[in-house]
Structure 1
Amino acid sequence: MECAGKGRGTRCTGPATRRCGRCGAVAYCSVSHQIAHWSDHKGECERLEEQMKHVDLLNDFPFTFSREVTAQVCEKQETRCSFLTKRGIHCVGMWMYECFCGASVASSDTSRLMKGWNLSNNLCPCRGPLSPIPKQLCSWKDYYEWRCIPLHSPVALLLHWPLTIYHAIQLAAARDLIPEFCFMNQILKGPEKELLELAVFGELHALFPDVQVHIELVGPAIPQYRDGERIDLYSYAHCTETDCICRSSSENFSPCVLTGETSVVTLRLRAGYYHDRYRHIVKDSFPHLIIAPNAGIAAFMSWLPTIELIKEINVPAIFSDYCEEASHLATSYISTLTGCPPTIPIQLNPFRQPMAVEDTALFLPCYSNCFLFGM
């Protein structure tokens, strides 16, 4: 972790081992840097102190490997690489972007659609559910029980993408921000690692049965040569079993035109920023809901025209971020721009990715899609 007072006139004298005695969320290399940083830190210290009280809640997952991917990752006793290696999924297929050493390889391979879990069928949702979806799934435990997946399966590390969409839609529907639907058109902004994990969105078949879901994935990380590409997901990502029913079903990923005889999850890739691509997107259909995962709103000035556009078109938008502090800064920024408080206040996402982010700027545990809020 870097010294919070880095760049305050003098060079850091060593590692950041001196934590703030009040909040415990930031650390410094020396007393002098801590004193120099106080003018900035004093406005956030009390808020971070309150957030640090919720660490146990942030780390609360039902999996058999929960401590391994929370406290042990934060304490550097475990890494993403070591966790994935133990399960035979390190730098493999859809899992390639889940650690730093796979990211460099994956970045040059985004044109290839990864179709499988690289897991046996008892560990992954490669087929339809055995029972109808409950009225509402409220936790990873609910989801795993419904899909008959054992709690030692690591699939939640990828399934947080469709499950976060599911939860965001539930939040929007509960506040009457979106109508009852038999067709759902969503905008998913800022895809990066999701480009190698698109097959996991096939799980939306189970989460929204008999619903045709259309998702526009919009972001500058999409290569120009893939701009406008359409991917139809008719089923689920495959397991490794050659005799599994998932292998005998029709081709899961097809560019074929939808016939209307089966539900389909349609993904369309759009290169660029949402405010620049908006006119192209609405030529096909108007969005019901905008979802921006791990948005980093307070960190990127490119959000300014997008927030203004979302307010103008009056489409509900739900954002996520890695920690509560980032979400607080984002909602303050949005409220300043729009003059309105959040329509959905900051709240913990029960379907956040259950593996802590390594090497974060704060001692607060951070998770992909950790907190949700909306406008």
Structure 2
Amino acid sequence: MECAWKGRTNRCLGPARRRCGGCGAVAYCSASHQISHWSEHKEECDRLKQHMKHIDSLNEFPFTFSIQATIQVCEKRETRCSLLRKWGIHQLGMWLYECQCGTSVASFSCSSLTDNSWNLPDIMCPCNETVSSPSKHFCTWKEYYEWRSRERTSTACCLCRAACTFSWYGCTHRVYWTGSSTMDGQSFTLRKYARCISTDCSCRSTEDVSWGLHTSKSATVSMKLRRGFYHDCYRDIVKDSSPHLIIAPNAGIAAYSSWLPTIELIKEINVPAVFSDYCEEACNLGARYITSITGSPLSFPIQLNPFRQPMVVEDSALFLPCYSNCFLFGM
């Protein structure tokens, strides 16, 4: 936790151990820095106080390791690395991207989907898909895992960063991913599951485990990666097909001025857009920014994402717990 006044004028005098008595969400290195910050903080103090009341809801997950991955990480009794070590998956396969040890990795590539990428027993392997299509929209991780007939000891959910989930059954999706990808212009199709670690799992005996394995119609997801901002790539994207939905995970809309032309473009083309962010305050600031540009209220108000990643973000800027894709809102 850093001093909320860090980098302004005077240097910080030490660790930020002095918490705001009003909200309890921010901290300072000294009384002088707290006083200096009050002119800015007073506007957000009551709002952050309300956010802090939601801590129990933010930490609530149906998994057996929830307390370790939420409260104990916040209290620094555990770290992401220590949890992954306990589970025996630290720095293995795709798990490499779930802790600070993976920050030096340049990018994710399809070659990462090797036999040891999941390092999970067969009962948790993604290829053990349920045979029935879902009969309803899921509202919680618990409902989703019950439909998948999975044990809630599974650590695979910690890889789930996506803000929204798609129905793969008998459907074909075309996804354009824009941003800082080093794989600019590359395309690939998702047809296979990553193999699990168990030698007797069914995924070892088949060459191609399709996403639409249990349907009469094969389902695929084709992806094309583009380097750059969405508004710069838009003309090339619509040459193939017009977008039906725009999704921006962990968007940080209020933090980056580059969002302005993208928000203006989304308003112009009138396509539904869903954004997520790490905490409610980030969404609140992003929503205010959007409404100031569009002159219209949100069509999709800020709400807690039930499918947020169930491992807290370490060393967040606030004492308020932060999760990948924690809250959703849209225009």
Q: TM-score surpassing 0.5?
A: yes
SS at match of 2:111: coil
CA distance in structure 2 between the aligned counterparts of 1:11 and 1:261, rounded to whole angstroms: 63
CA distance in structure 2 between the aligned counterparts of 1:134 and 1:120, rounded to whole angstroms: 28
CA distance in structure 2 between the aligned counterparts of 1:318 and 1:109, rounded to whole angstroms: 24
CA distance in structure 1 between the aligned counterparts of 2:107 and 2:257, rounded to whole angstroms: 27
Alignment of 1:181-260 (within 5 A): 204=166, 207-219=167-179, 221-223=180-182, 226-251=183-208
Deviation at 1:244, TM superposition (A): 2.2
In structure 1, the partner of 2:323 is: 367
Deviation at 1:269, TM superposition (A): 1.0
In structure 2, the partner of 1:186 is: none
Query: Does 2:56 correspond to 1:97?
Result: no
Deviation at 1:3, TM superposition (A): 0.6
CA distance in structure 1 between the aligned counterparts of 2:229 and 2:100, rounded to whole angstroms: 25
Does the 8 Å contact 2:125/2:196 carry over to 1? yes
Q: What is the CA deviation profile of residues 72-103 of structure 1, one whole-angstrom value per residue up to 9, with x for unaligned ones? A: 00111000001111111111111111100122
CA distance in structure 2 between the aligned counterparts of 1:286 and 1:61, rounded to whole angstroms: 37
Deviation at 1:233, TM superposition (A): 1.4
Does the 8 Å contact 1:8/1:36 carry over to 2? no
Q: What is the CA deviation profile of residues 132-153 of structure 1, one whole-angstrom value per residue up to 9, with x for unaligned ones? A: 2131111111111111211111
Which ranges of structure 2 fall in alignment gaps of 5 or more residues?
Answer: 211-215
Does the 8 Å contact 1:237/1:252 carry over to 2? no
In structure 1, the partner of 2:74 is: 74
Deviation at 1:238, TM superposition (A): 2.0
CA distance in structure 1 between the aligned counterparts of 2:130 and 2:192, rounded to whole angstroms: 12
Alignment of 1:142-157 (within 5 A): 142-157=143-158
In structure 1, the partner of 2:243 is: 287
SS at match of 1:32: helix
- Against the structure 1 CA distance between its residues 271 and 107, is the aligned structure 2 distance closer, same or farther, given a 3 Å change threshold? same
In structure 1, the partner of 2:140 is: 139
Aligned length: 324
CA distance in structure 2 between the aligned counterparts of 1:114 and 1:335, rounded to whole angstroms: 41
Does the 8 Å contact 1:346/1:373 carry over to 2? yes
Alignment of 1:1-375 (within 5 A): 1-104=1-104, 106-107=105-106, 110=109, 112-115=111-114, 116-161=117-162, 164-166=163-165, 204=166, 207-219=167-179, 221-223=180-182, 226-251=183-208, 262-375=218-331
More helix by proportion, 1 or 2?
1
Deviation at 1:336, TM superposition (A): 0.2
CA distance in structure 2 between the aligned counterparts of 1:108 and 1:307, rounded to whole angstroms: 27
Which ranges of structure 1 fall in alignment gaps of 5 or more residues?
Answer: 167-203, 254-259
CA distance in structure 1 between the aligned counterparts of 2:32 and 2:281, rounded to whole angstroms: 25
Counterpart AA for 1:346: I
Q: What is the root-mean-square deviation of aligned Cα atoms in Å?
A: 1.7
CA distance in structure 1 between the aligned counterparts of 2:209 and 2:146, rounded to whole angstroms: 25
Deviation at 1:241, TM superposition (A): 2.3
- Against the structure 1 CA distance between its residues 159 and 109, is the aligned structure 2 distance closer, same or farther, given a 3 Å change threshold? closer
Does the 8 Å contact 2:178/2:225 carry over to 1? yes
Deviation at 1:10, TM superposition (A): 1.6
Does the 8 Å contact 1:125/1:149 carry over to 2? no
SS at match of 1:283: coil
CA distance in structure 1 between the aligned counterparts of 2:160 and 2:128, rounded to whole angstroms: 14
Deviation at 1:293, TM superposition (A): 0.1
Counterpart AA for 1:362: L
Percent sequence identity is: 59
Q: What is the CA deviation profile of residues 179-216 of structure 1, one whole-angstrom value per residue up to 9, with x for unaligned ones? A: xxxxxxxxxxxxxxxxxxxxxxxxx5xx3311111111
Counterpart AA for 1:234: R
Deviation at 1:110, TM superposition (A): 4.0
Deviation at 1:112, TM superposition (A): 3.0
CA distance in structure 2 between the aligned counterparts of 1:370 and 1:292, rounded to whole angstroms: 13
SS at match of 2:6: coil
Does the 8 Å contact 2:168/2:220 carry over to 1? no
Deviation at 1:261, TM superposition (A): 6.1
Deviation at 1:267, TM superposition (A): 1.3
